[in-house]
Homo-oligomer: A and B are copies of this chain.
Amino acid sequence: MEKNKNNKKTQLTELRQDLVTGDWVVIATGRAKKPEEFASNKRSFIEEDHNKICFFCYPEETEQEKDNLIYERANGDWSLRVFPNKYPAFVSGRVPKHTEEGPYFAMDGTGYHELIITRDHHRQIAQMDFLEVAEIIDAYQERYIDLMNKKSVNYIEVFHNHGKEAGASIAHPHSQLMAIPVISPYVKSELDGAESYHKMNKQCVYCTMIAWETEHKKRVVFENDDFLAYCPYSSRAAFEVWVLPKKHKPYFERTSDSEKITLAEALQTAISKIYKALEDPAYNFYIHTSPCDGKDYPHFHWHIEIIPRTSVWAGFELSTGIEISTIQPEVAADYLRKI
C-alpha cells in the first residue's frame, strides 16, 4: 500500500509476464475481494424445456439418431457416447478449398466437430469419481487417435464448457472435440515460446515451472506421482488452474492407461475444489498439446488449463489481450488447497 497525493490508500498493481508466451497479465487487487467472495458471481442456469426430452439423454428418440453414433462406451447400458455436432464449426468431407476476395484470403472450415456425452444429465465432473473421469479422458484419447491422421487435420482441440457464462448452451454435461486444419494463434504462441525458451535455457519451460512450483508449493493445488495441479504465476483468470504431467511429455495422445487414472484424479480434484470454492461456477477447460501436423514438437509439454468464468472480458481485455485478475494466484491456490 502507498498513499497518493490525495492521501488515499492505493493498492499497488502488478504486471506479471507469462514465462512461455511473453504476454502480460495484470494482478489488480484494489477491489480487495476475499477468496470466499468470488462465489457470489453465481452461474446462471441454462434454460431447458422440460416438456421436451433431452436429446443427449435419449439420442435414439430425437433428431440425433443412433445412426450418427461415432463411439460408445457400454457395459450393458451405455455410459459415454460420441456424436457429431449437429451444428458443426468444422465440417468433414473434402480437401479445403481456398478462396480469395481482392486482398483477402479464406478457406473452407474442413474438419471434425464431435460431442462427447456422459450418461447422467445431472452429474457433472465435480460430482464424478476418478474412474468416470478416466473414462472421459480415455474417450478424448481414442477420438484423438482416430482423427489425428485424417487429411487436413493439423490440430485437435479438446474442451469442456460448463455453464452459460462459459458458453454452454445445453445443460447435459458434455465435452467437445474439434479437429481443425490450422494451428491456432494461442497454441502457436505457446509452441514458439517453448521452443525459444529451450534454445536459450536448454530446458523445457514447463518443466522449469513444475520444478519451481513443486519445490515452493505456494501455488500448488494438488499433486500426485504423475500430475501437478497449480495456479499459474501469470494466471489470466481468478482461480485458474493448470494440470500438467510432471515428466516432460509433448503428446497428450500418448498418455498411458495408468496415467489416465492419475490424470483423472488430478483433474477431478481440481474441478471439485473449484466447484466448492466458487459454489458451482461456470468454467471451461481445454487441452493444449502438440499439433498433429506431421512435425515433431520435442520442446512442448502438453497440459490442461481450467478457467473459471468469474468475470467477463471488458473493453481493455478485448483491445489488448491483457487480462486483469483481481486475486493473486498464491491466495487462490492457498484457498483451493485447503478445501
Closest beta carbon of chain B to A48's beta carbon, Å: 17
Whether A30 pairs with B88 at a CB distance below 8 angstroms is yes
A108 and B314 in contact, given A28-B89, A209-B103, A319-B184 (Cβ under 8 angstroms): no
Tell me whether A269 is interfacial, beta carbon within 8 Å: no
Whether A284 pairs with B104 at a CB distance below 8 angstroms is no
Tell me whether A208 is interfacial, beta carbon within 8 Å: yes
> Which of A74-82, A131-139, A160-168, A221-229 faces chain B?
A160-168
Could you tell me which residues of chain A, from 137 to 182, have a CB within 8 Å of some CB in chain B? 157, 159-161, 164-168, 176, 178, 181-182
Number of identical protomers? 2
> Which of A115-123, A248-256, A320-328 faces chain B?
A320-328
Cα(A31)–Cα(B312), bound, Å: 24
Cα(A314)–Cα(B105), bound, Å: 25
Whether A321 pairs with B184 at a CB distance below 8 angstroms is yes
Tell me whether A23 is interfacial, beta carbon within 8 Å: yes
Tell me whether A331 is interfacial, beta carbon within 8 Å: no
Whether B109 pairs with A166 at a CB distance below 8 angstroms is no
Tell me whether A57 is interfacial, beta carbon within 8 Å: no
Whether B315 pairs with A108 at a CB distance below 8 angstroms is no
Cα(A265)–Cα(B189), bound, Å: 39
Whether A106 pairs with B16 at a CB distance below 8 angstroms is yes
Cα(A287)–Cα(B320), bound, Å: 10
Whether B316 pairs with A178 at a CB distance below 8 angstroms is yes
A sample of 24 cross-chain residue pairs with beta-carbon separation below 8 angstroms, ordered by A number, consists of A4-B91, A12-B109, A13-B108, A17-B105, A19-B105, A23-B185, A26-B90, A28-B87, A30-B87, A30-B88, A104-B234, A159-B314, A159-B316, A159-B318, A161-B315, A166-B314, A167-B312, A167-B315, A168-B314, A185-B321, A286-B316, A286-B318, A305-B318, A307-B318
Enumerate chain A interface residues (CB-CB to B < 8 A): 2, 4, 6, 10-17, 19, 21, 23-24, 26-28, 30-31, 65, 67-68, 87-93, 96, 99, 101-109, 157, 159-161, 164-168, 176, 178, 181-182, 184-187, 205, 208-209, 212, 216, 233-234, 284-288, 305, 307, 311-322, 324
